[in-house]
Structure 1
Amino acid sequence: MRLLAAFAMLLAIAGTPTSASAHAALISVEPASGSILASAPKAVELRFNEAVTPGAIQLIDGAGRARDDARVTTSGEAITVAMPADLPKGTAVVSYRVISQDGHPVAGSVIFSIGAPTATQPRANADGRLSAVIWLSRIGLYLGLFVGVGGVFFGRWIAWSMAGMDVPRAALLLGLPSAAVSLGVLGLDLLGLPLAAIVTAAPWTIAFATSAGLASIVAIAAMLLALMALSRVWYARALAVVAFIGVGLSLAMTGHAATASPEVLTRPAVFVHGLAVAFWIGALTPLAALLTKPTPAVLPLLNRFSRIAVPVVAALALTGLVLAIIQLEKPAALVETTYGLILSVKLVLVLFLLALAALNRYRLTPALVKDRGVATVLKRSILLECATALGIFAVVAGWRFTPPPRTMVAETPLAIHIHTDKAMFQVLVSPGKAGVDDFVLQLMTGEATPLQAKEASLTLSLPERGIEPMERDAELGPDGYWHVRKVELPFAGRWHVRIDALVTDFEKITLEDDLEVAPP
């Protein structure tokens, strides 16, 4: 009863919602990125969709120098970077790396020019090995939690035997340092530091301050308890179940899926999903070891495991579906986003894993009653399940580098309003960045009624970059607006916009204004 009470308490903790929006996204910048200013701004304000913690904020001035005299302050969802008084003319870059409330870094750059633009660029990450270490350490962590802890739980509670524990023990010994390294490289990523800085205190300090810090402690504790459960102490079964619960708890404490809204649903879903994975995957290597030299006790064990696995796999599929719907928001995200593509590959591998499990459950296990030679085939099938599970871990570890579609803030079209006593023109530019853009022109009279025009054209120029006026004819769409599609804007900056509307054969209305186009 005490174990059940502890289980309920831990599940309640995992399911307790917080005020986090789960993954930060930049929603506004002042001054706007790509702006050309007459004088240096006093400050650059970055506003996010949730409260964030500054990781690394760097200013590179128009002379290409990295400045360390820019003061950074935070207030709720906003980060303000005070500019030094002696900021020279040219293009300045404010590179930011902030920590969202799910413990992941959000990075980007804001570019603005004082006077004429220059070729200043954000500095690239000098150590490309960091991403590889992050990926490998996560795979090692998954092996420790799912293969290691799950294997020990299988031995203590399903097989009632510690036979075949060599692989789970090795997975635990790999998972423990992987959990520690995973936390250290998270700190490096949050601060934008190279791999060599892992021996310093700064990355560890900031990583422990995130939700991933406590989650890592729980994961390490779970793996240590599982190692202790391998011994012959009388309370080994209790250690195994507490370690098993720790797997789900550590996963439900941090990450994209666990911190998605509504957390009262997503955290328990991640908790149950993690336990289901540990139960299923943890059983594979011990079963394969037992089938090497099958005994009469193996068949009852296989039947017992199969009966329990059916509802476990059902829970795995249901929670996975719920989390996928929340993360993707729309089916098209499966192929339109990197996160969705990773999920698509995972689903293919999971379907293959389910097919192998069904083969083992409904064909090979019953055949073992009549023919003990089937044990070799069953073992090979289980080993193939192990290899597929490893592939899933490798694929899922890639989610660390891409935000889920639900966190992607939709780009608001760039808009300008040109107004005279005679006419009003509304111009929408999507996405409003250097590259290929679509223009939508709404033509109205001075009284804000639709302006009937026979023809309309759009003329764009960027004098500061030597781009002379280029004219494009607009087409009247069924929505009543004039459209100019796939306009190539090669540079960011203040583009001059001229719209000509031919009202009659003898009357043409021309309105002009400037448009700030952001960098790509």
Structure 2
Amino acid sequence: MAVMTPRIAAALAAGALAILISPPAPASAHAVLSSSNPIQGAVLASAPAEVVLTFTESVRQVPGKILVLGPDGKRVDKGEPSFAGSVVTIPVDQGGNGTYLVSYRVISADSHPVAGGYTYSVGSPSVAPTLTQNEDTNRVVATAIKVAKYLGYAGLVLVVGPVLVLCLLWPARLSRRRVGAVVWTGMGLVGLATVAAVLLQGPYTAGGGIFDISGGQIRDVLATTFGTAHLVRLGLLLAIALLLRPLLRGPNESGKADQILLLVLGGAALLTWPIAGHPAASPVAAVSVVVDAVHLASMAVWLGGLVMLVGFLLRQANERELGAVLPVWSRWAALAVSSLVLAGTVQALIEVSTPDALVSTTYGRLILAKVGLLALVIAVAWYSRRLVRRRIAADEPHKIRRAVWVELGITAIVLALSAVLVQTTPARTAAANEALGVTTDYYSKEVASNLFKLQVDIDPAGVGNNSIHLYAYDLSGKPLKVVEWKGTAALPANDVAPIEIPLLALTDNHATGELTFSLAGDWQLRFTVRISDIDQATVTATVPVT
């Protein structure tokens, strides 16, 4: 009997085909530019000394991918931009009048690239400069990453389930040689996928082609959480391989202590998947990482067990052995499926966040497709469990074998959807990005005192919740270090007394806050900025709220 039967190969091929026909991942994936100074379309009286970009989550630098072009098309950014969590500060030369282009490509907290750009003008607008380089993610690279992730998931299936069956359910009289070949194939797939992910991450984040891989890129990748997680996975795979050798030789070659250690190392290896992806950047990272690991483990136990059933036990075990094995496996499968559904539900609640995002975003629609396929698989699994309970499976194994083939075929597609999901912007982020992207109304004004200039940006300057960004400069236009920020908002025409605005310093000269305008009207905002122990001044901005 071949190690990989034609039907199993066909199921895996169906999953790979589902990846290849899936929509390409967007270039700007999982974070968005929430504010900037200067803001999009602003016309300034004088050129700024720096450009400040604020994103919705922490970002990291892609070398050489942040620049500012002047009206003549030449770069005016100087030196390296500074990164402080979600805030990026770009020093610029104070050039002449006209329109400037800001272009950026950074890496979001979950290791995906974020690319975009906008323009502002000094004096009066002019023809905007153009950027010759392409900031889109290379489609071949994006597809290769999805395929690598799929192979990694398939490898997990061929390792976790078979090893568990060998430890606890495998009849002693049956040979382990062919099962060992399946397990080593799975280990190879996981290792190959891990190495491929590290190699492809460089061109993926930089926007290069599949052969644009350099030693510097690999070093940069390995210095990140993403790279560290993959390095740890490779080390754990090596340790697991050493423990697998005696287990695959025979039932008496591996002791209980080795099997317990194998379980611990396997659990640690599973955690490297969520640590390197979306869960690590979710609002509740610790919960998301654990839930995602449980989801992976349940999937691998269930599908790996099905592979063992259809590929080996239903072909080689006799009726007495099947009568002992199938009821136990049926309970395992029920537990694995329950854990899979529970973990998937928790994941969806965290990543989707709203019912509308479930149907209005690509991520949400992929979740719905995955749920539909899982419901179909669970129905087939329920039929299989009925056969086991009625002991038909042991007497007529061909019936349950057909049901298992159906399960494997559908779940190969589910694995492909999972590989696409981890490259797709989470619905919670996509919905927030859309809300940020459609905003057209805002307030932006520079107010001055005898000590400083203060740029006040309020988005959307309407009734309801608003985001405030304050940028302090000295009288010559250079960034000014602020010791303390204070702010109040009042609506005198409607007898609304001053309300304190909570302000949080993001950098030395940049603070942000949230404010709810309860009524339309001309709101009076007062900001007191202290720049030393004794030097402070207060400025006022009148904000028309509609």
Please, what TM-score do these two structures have when normalized by structure 2?
Answer: 0.66
Q: What's the offset of the Cα at 1:24?
A: 4.4
Q: Give runs of aligned pairs for residues 116-515 of structure 1, distance below 5 A.
A: 116-122=125-131, 123-125=133-135, 127-159=138-170, 162=176, 164-198=179-213, 200-228=214-242, 229-230=244-245, 231-232=248-249, 233-235=253-255, 237-238=259-260, 240-290=262-312, 291-296=314-319, 297-363=321-387, 366-368=390-392, 371-372=395-396, 375-407=397-429, 408=432, 410-411=435-436, 414-416=441-443, 428=462, 448=493
Write the distance in 1 (CA, Å) between the matches of 2:74 and 2:398.
Answer: 66
Q: Would you say 1:82 and 2:91 are equivalent positions?
A: yes
Contact 2:77 2:93 in 1 (8 A): no
Write the distance in 2 (CA, Å) between the matches of 1:95 and 1:401.
Answer: 23
Q: What's the offset of the Cα at 1:90?
A: 4.8
Q: What's the offset of the Cα at 1:394?
A: 1.3
1:496 aligns with none
Write the distance in 1 (CA, Å) between the matches of 2:239 and 2:492.
Answer: 76
- Equivalent position amino acid for 2:226 in 1: A
Paired residues, what number? Answer: 411
Q: What's the offset of the Cα at 1:449?
A: 6.0
SS at match of 1:124: coil
Bigger shift: residues 378-387 or 331-340 = 378-387
SS at match of 1:80: strand
Write the distance in 2 (CA, Å) between the matches of 1:84 and 1:187.
Answer: 30
SS at match of 2:318: coil
Write the distance in 2 (CA, Å) between the matches of 1:398 and 1:354.
Answer: 22
Bigger shift: residues 360-369 or 209-218 = 360-369
Q: Give runs of aligned pairs for residues 57-96 of structure 1, distance below 5 A.
A: 57-59=65-67, 61=69, 62-64=71-73, 69-85=78-94, 87=95, 90-96=98-104
SS at match of 1:71: coil
2:539 aligns with none
Contact 1:55 1:99 in 2 (8 A): yes
Write the distance in 1 (CA, Å) between the matches of 2:202 and 2:239.
Answer: 26
Write the distance in 1 (CA, Å) between the matches of 2:168 and 2:240.
Answer: 13
> Which string of whole-angstrom CA distances, capped at 9 and with x for unpartnered residues, describes residues 275-302 of structure 1?
2112112212111112234423133212
Write the distance in 1 (CA, Å) between the matches of 2:301 and 2:105.
Answer: 37
Q: How large is the RMSD of aligned CA atoms in angstroms? A: 3.6
Bigger shift: residues 212-221 or 323-332 = 212-221
- Equivalent position amino acid for 1:26 in 2: L
Task: Classify 1:147/1:218 alpha carbon distance in 2 versus 1 (closer, same or farther; 3 Å).
Answer: farther
Write the distance in 1 (CA, Å) between the matches of 2:59 and 2:203.
Answer: 17
Runs (5+) with no aligned partner, structure 2: 1-28, 446-459, 465-490, 496-517, 522-543
Q: Which runs of 4+ in 1 moved over 6 A?
A: 479-482
- Equivalent position amino acid for 1:292 in 2: R
Bigger shift: residues 322-331 or 383-392 = 383-392
1:19 aligns with none
Contact 1:26 1:47 in 2 (8 A): yes
SS at match of 1:34: coil
Write the distance in 2 (CA, Å) between the matches of 1:44 and 1:68.
Answer: 9
Q: What's the offset of the Cα at 1:427?
A: 7.7
Contact 2:323 2:394 in 1 (8 A): no
Task: Classify 1:70/1:258 alpha carbon distance in 2 versus 1 (closer, same or farther; 3 Å).
Answer: closer
> Which string of whole-angstrom CA distances, capped at 9 and with x for unpartnered residues, describes residues 197-228 of structure 1?
22x12222222222222322343344444544
> Which string of whole-angstrom CA distances, capped at 9 and with x for unpartnered residues, describes residues 33-84 of structure 1?
2223455432110123444321243325234456784531123432111124
- Equivalent position amino acid for 1:448 in 2: A
SS at match of 2:229: helix
Please, what TM-score do these two structures have when normalized by structure 1?
Answer: 0.69
2:471 aligns with none
Q: 1:112 aligns with which of 109, 114, 120?
A: 120
- Equivalent position amino acid for 1:396 in 2: S
